[in-house]
Amino acid sequence: MQAVFAWLSQYGFDYQRVVAENGDQLRDQLLALHGIGEETADVLLTFVFGIPTFVSDKYARTLFTHLGITGLTDYRSLAKRCRLSAYFDLARAQDFHGLIDEFGKQYLRSPGRFQDSFLAGDRLVLE
């Protein structure tokens, strides 16, 4: 985290300035920092820098697998298949991530619990 704080200090910890000066390259800039991986970069984009981003964390991959999406072996395998539509403003993107995480805590931590959920039997189709 030291690298992140050193990097942010170059911008005076002004998150809007970070976004303005890095634009579409912000995610790549975050990934270049020591200790920042894809999930952390996407969380920072969504919750710190105000850029709606789908977070393909373990709960999301497990949920999507239960919903019939195959081949989700790592972060990128879902992230490149699932993008947020224009419907997802910042608040909705943050809520969506939070809902997936809360669902995961309740129904995905223990084997077999998914079958007790309101999503059991549902299937998802990614276009």
Instruction: Yes or no: say if 46 and 26 are a contact pair by the CB < 8 Å rule.
Output: no
pLDDT in tens, 83-98: 899 999 999 999 999 9
Instruction: Kindly tell me the sign of the dihedral angle through the C-alpha atoms of 117, 108, 78, 92.
Output: positive
Assign 3-state DSSP to the chain and report helix, strand, coil percentages, each to 5: 55, 0, 45
Q: CA-to-CA distance for 78 and 69, rounded, in angstroms?
A: 9
pLDDT in tens, 96-118: 999 999 999 999 999 899 999 99
Check whether 29 has a pLDDT greater than 90: yes
pLDDT in tens, 45-57: 999 999 999 999 9
